[in-house]
Amino acid sequence: MTEPSVQPNLTPQFCFNTVALRDFLRISRSAIDDSITQNLNALVTPARQGFDPNSTSFRTPRASSRSIDPRACQEFKTKVLFPSWQARSDVLTYCAYVATSPDPDDPELAQREAETERNRERVVDERLDPYSGRYFPREPRTEILANLLRQERSVESIVRSRTWGLVLERCGDSFQDAEEALNHWRMGRERRKS
């Protein structure tokens, strides 16, 4: 069975390193969600009987219609799928907190303040150059992180929806929504801890 995604050490530096953040999300998604069909196919119990040569004389239904043992499906969801989703949710939530917190360690803060001050002191004759009055300050790294997180949350929603649709098709479940199923798993995990 596939291993769930391992959550990285959460620090503000991890969040501000957008390459590392995107890599974690990409690798986690590719290991679990992008290969969900293969992961589900791996749960199908092989034939209990030997090979029957007569089986090649007629068409069999698609592999996706082969039933998966409900216990195997449940184990996959609780030990691989939901922990991976939770690890990604934890990273996105933590980084969102970092993005909305003040950033006293911003290395470009002094540079941005100097640029803003230079822009205030600048004399602009808009008759000579109507565009010279424009000033576009650099975005602080917290804003860049917040924009990235908005994009990644949208991607995460789409990926989970697609994955959950395949899980429902192959395994069935009482929950029609991925978030509802994940929240139910979280509550069960919390009850077991306490």
Q: Give the pLDDT score at 159.
A: 95
- Tell me the CA distances in angstroms from 83 to 10, 48, 72, 76, 79, one per residue in order: 16, 31, 16, 10, 6
Rounded to an integer, the average pLDDT of 46-59 is: 67
CB-CB contact of 148 with 96 (8 Å)? no
**Confidence (pLDDT) at 94:** 95
**pLDDT score of 112:** 61
- For range 72-91, the mean pLDDT: 93
pTM value is: 0.75
d(CA 38, CA 20): 26
How is residue 162 written in tokens?
Answer: 């697609």
Tens-digit pLDDT profile for residues 124-145: 656 666 666 565 566 777 888 9
CA–CA gap between residue 72 and residue 68 (Å, rounded): 7
Convert the pLDDT of each residue in 2-33 to its tens digit: 777 788 899 998 999 999 999 999 999 999 89
DSSP at 44: S
pLDDT tens per residue, range 145-192? 999 999 999 999 999 999 999 998 888 777 778 899 899 889 988 888
Please choose, from the candidates 27, 23, 32, the residue with its C-alpha nearest in 3D space to the C-alpha of residue 163. 32
Which pLDDT does position 176 carry in this prediction?
Answer: 77
Q: Write out the two tokens for 127.
A: 């008759």
